[in-house]
Amino acid sequence: MSEPRRGATGTRPVRRALLSVWDKEGLVELARQLDEFGVRLVSTGSTAHVLRDAGLPVTEVAAVTGSPEMLDGRVKTLHPAIHAGILADATNPTHVRELEKQGIEPFELVVVNLYPFEDTVASGAGRDDAVEQIDIGGPTLLRAAAKNFRSVAVVARPHRYADLVAALRETGGTSLELRATLAEEAFAHVAAYDAAIAGWFAEWAGPEELPPSLSLGFARVRELRYGENPHQRAGLYRAVLSPGPLGGARVVQGKEMSFNNWLDAEAARTVAGSLEAPAAVIVKHHNPCGAAVAGSLAEAYRAALASDPVSAFGGVVAFNGEVDGAAARAMAEVFTEVVVAPGFSEEALAAFASRKNLRLVEAPAPAKAPLEVRPIDGGALVQEADAVTEDRGEMKVASRREPDPGEWEDLLFAWRVAARVKSNAIVLAAGGATVGVGAGQMSRVDAVDIASRKAGERAQGSAMASDAFFPFRDAVDLAARAGVRSVIQPGGSMRDDEAVASADEHGMAMVLTGRRHFRH
Read off the DSSP letter of residue 75.
B
In the chain, how long is the greatest CA-to-CA distance?
Answer: 95
Cis peptide bond N-terminal to 113, omega within 30? no
Number of H helices, E strands in the chain: 19, 23
285 is catalytic: yes
Helix or strand holding residue 367 (H, E): none
CB-based burial label for 486 (10 Å; 0-12, 13-18, 19+) = buried
Task: Give pairs for 274-277: CB < 8 Å, separation 24+.
Answer: 274/388, 274/416, 274/419, 274/420, 275/320, 275/413, 275/416, 277/432
Backbone angles phi, psi at 463, to 5 degrees: -105, 145
Task: Give the active site residue among 24, 147, 284, 506.
Answer: 147
Neighbouring C-beta atoms of residue 46, cutoff 10 Å: 13
462: Cβ–Cβ under 8 A, 6 or more apart, which residues? Answer: 410, 428, 429, 430, 435, 436, 455, 483, 484, 485
147 is catalytic: yes
Read off the DSSP letter of residue 6.
T
99: Cβ–Cβ under 8 A, 6 or more apart, which residues? Answer: 84, 85, 88, 105, 106
Backbone angles phi, psi at 486, to 5 degrees: -150, 150
How far, in Å, CA of 236 to CA of 195, rounded?
Answer: 18
* Three-state secondary structure call for residue 421: coil
Task: Give the active site residue among 83, 284, 285, 517.
Answer: 285
**What is the residue type of 429?**
A
Neighbouring C-beta atoms of residue 198, cutoff 10 Å: 18
In 3D, which of 262, 204, 205 has the Cα closest to residue 235?
262
Task: Name the residues annotated as catalytic.
Answer: 147, 285
